[in-house]
Amino acid sequence: MRSGSASRHERLLQLFERHAVSARTAGLTRVRVEDDRLEGDLLTIEGKRVVNFGSCAYLGLNLDPRLKAGAIEAIDKYGPVFSSSNAYTSLDLYTQLEERLSQVFDAHVVIPTTTTLGHLAALPVLIGDGDGVLVDSQAHSTVHLGTQVLQAEGIIVDPLPHNNVTALREAVEEATRTFEHVWYLADGVYSMFGDVAPVAAVYELLDEYPNLHVYFDDAHGFSWSGPSGRGYVLANRPLHPRMVVIVSLAKSFGSGGSAIAFADPEDAQRVQLCGGTLTFSGPLHPAELGAAVAAADIHLSAEIDELQDRLRRQIGLVRKAVVAAALPVVALDSTPVWFVRVGGHAQTMELGRRMLDDGFYLNLASFPAVPAGQSGMRFTHTLYHSDDQILAMIEALSRHLPALVGEPEVVIDLTALEAGVQAPGQGAQGG
């Protein structure tokens, strides 16, 4: 198809491809690490050892000896793969993991192989004819993928401005008069910008509108926050009767797989039995199950409190450092995910290469991971990092950034920062 006559979809795909090819060519994405053995804070890229600020293993559990031992024992017992759909047979490790995660959530749990397959299993079963769907515009791409399946079935899906409580309330007010059930889909912690959902406001809406249901993807809030690691969404409140929360076990939890928490046991059973990807896709591999059971035991022990305390202290260190350096971060919420806005894709790639030259690997983020024209560098931090590594990386960012985008105009109220209040103008768009 000629570019001049390309459809909107084709033009967006072409833009996506141009960004993807250029970023890969620059050595910033699709990177193959060269390490013989992984260390939590370091990677070898193009023969050079660099500090890795692109990992989501926030609590440093993915290399924990107990998780390794659990994985090795499971492989020794069951082999590298159990070649059967869970619809027919599955390992008892599933039972062990379900029991433990049910304690973490105080809810009924179903275990998909990934959060993506979890969305594709749960959403078409939970949402049906006569229902309407509202989705945060910046919810994870895989949530939006799930809504495409719903739209193919004729279900109305309306995107909402990101984290805009006023727009959400107005949309809920209108939709609950039109549809039998209304579902709101959102993230708990947003994977690119590191900002958080207005959970308290959502709970208020649930109490106010009896036909409102909520589906939260808390993949990036699970494990490092909340009692027993139950996540950001459920950190200070129980699972609402009309709420479903899905999480990833492949990030802070350190193992692999996913989990969906249901307040209603009938919903859990229906998704378990009828969810397409839970029937026609393969199971978690034994190593993932063995590691996940070991990780769950850690989360159900007092050790999780100490790990979370250490990460919270580290998040505080990063917040103060990015403010002192006047970095144009999108959000200052207390999460281990940060986004420094640059603007142009080419300038962002140049920043990424300069950071690599200085010994730091960060995640380049461009369209469609973020809105077009809002490219930037995303970095995460974990308990593998030392304070000196974090401060040196932020100093390097602050040194290189002005030459690429000019002096950023960032005005932040330090008093509000100390009080834990996000400064005006520093939230994601629409907030």
Is residue 110 over pLDDT 60? yes
**What are 257's two structure tokens?**
């797989």
Nearest Cα to Cα of residue 398 among 320, 328, 317: 328
| 43 Cα distance to chain centroid | 22
According to DSSP, residue 329 is labeled B
**How many DSSP H helices and E strands does the chain contain?**
14, 13
According to DSSP, residue 51 is labeled E
pLDDT digits (tens, 9 = 90+) for 191-211: 999 999 999 999 999 999 999
Q: Tell the residue number behind the tokens 């109490």, with chain if given.
A: 207
Q: Tell the residue number behind the tokens 């992984």, with chain if given.
A: 38
pLDDT at 5: 58
Q: Between these two residues, 420 and 243, which has the higher pLDDT value?
A: 243
Q: What is the mean pLDDT of the chain?
A: 91
Vertex 218: Cα angle to 63 and 299 (nearest 5): 45
User: 321 Cβ partners below 8 Å, 6+ apart?
Assistant: 390, 391, 394
Q: Between these two residues, 14 and 258, which has the higher pLDDT value?
A: 258
pLDDT at 355: 96
Is residue 284 over pLDDT 70? yes
pLDDT digits (tens, 9 = 90+) for 124-147: 999 999 999 999 999 999 999 999
| Residue 366 pLDDT class (50, 70, 90 cuts) | confident
Specify the amino acid at residue 242: R
**Backbone angle region of 130, left / alpha / beta, with phi > 0 → left and psi within -120 to 50 → alpha:** left
| Residue 409 pLDDT class (50, 70, 90 cuts) | very low
Is residue 19 over pLDDT 70? yes
Is residue 92 over pLDDT 90? yes
pLDDT at 13: 85
pLDDT at 424: 27
Cα diameter, the chain: 61
Q: Tell the residue number behind the tokens 């850690």, with chain if given.
A: 298
In 10 A of CB 185, how many CB atoms? 27
Alpha-carbon Rg for the chain, nearest whole angstrom, is 22
Question: pLDDT over 90 for what percent of the chain?
Answer: 81
Is residue 234 over pLDDT 70? yes
pLDDT at 420: 38
b/e 310-327 (16+ beta carbons within 10 angstroms → b): ebeebbebbbebbbebbb
Lowest-pLDDT range of 168-172, 217-221, 295-299, 419-423: 419-423
In whole angstroms, give the CA distance from residue 425 to residue 318. Answer: 19
Is residue 427 over pLDDT 70? no
| Residue 412 pLDDT class (50, 70, 90 cuts) | very low
Q: Residues in the chain, how many?
A: 431
pLDDT digits (tens, 9 = 90+) for 161-183: 999 999 999 999 999 999 999 99
pLDDT at 411: 35
Specify the amino acid at residue 400: H
In whole angstroms, give the CA distance from residue 346 to residue 15. Answer: 13
**Over residues 264-270, mean pLDDT:** 97
Question: pLDDT over 70 for what percent of the chain?
Answer: 93
According to DSSP, residue 138 is labeled T
| Residue 370 pLDDT class (50, 70, 90 cuts) | confident
Is residue 76 over pLDDT 60? yes
212-217 vs 243-248, strand pairing mode: parallel
365: part of which helix (H) or strand (E)? Answer: strand 363-365
pLDDT at 304: 98
Lowest-pLDDT range of 310-314, 374-378, 406-410, 421-425: 421-425
Specify the amino acid at residue 387: D
According to DSSP, residue 189 is labeled B
User: 428 Cβ partners below 8 Å, 6+ apart?
Assistant: 138, 162, 163, 190, 193, 195, 330, 331
Instruction: Provide the residue ranges of all domains of the chain, joining segments of one domain with +.
Output: 15-52+303-418, 65-299
**What are 313's two structure tokens?**
């202290």
| Residue 406 pLDDT class (50, 70, 90 cuts) | low
Phi (first) and psi of residue 340, to 5 degrees: -100, 110
Vertex 18: Cα angle to 343 and 377 (nearest 5): 35
pLDDT at 408: 45
pLDDT digits (tens, 9 = 90+) for 329-348: 999 999 999 999 998 888 99
| CB-count exposure of residue 369 (10 Å: 0-12, 13-18, 19+) | middle
CATH number assigned to the domain with residue range 15-52+303-418, chosen from the 4 options 1.10.3720.10, 1.10.580.10, 3.90.1150.10, 3.90.226.10: 3.90.1150.10
pLDDT at 414: 37
In 10 A of CB 269, how many CB atoms? 13
Q: Order the strands of the 258-262 sheet from edge to edge.
A: 108-110, 258-262, 243-248, 212-217, 181-187, 131-136, 156-160
| Assigned CATH for 65-299 | 3.40.640.10
Is residue 153 over pLDDT 70? yes
Question: What is the reported pTM?
Answer: 0.90
pLDDT at 421: 34
* 3-state SS assignment for residue 334: coil
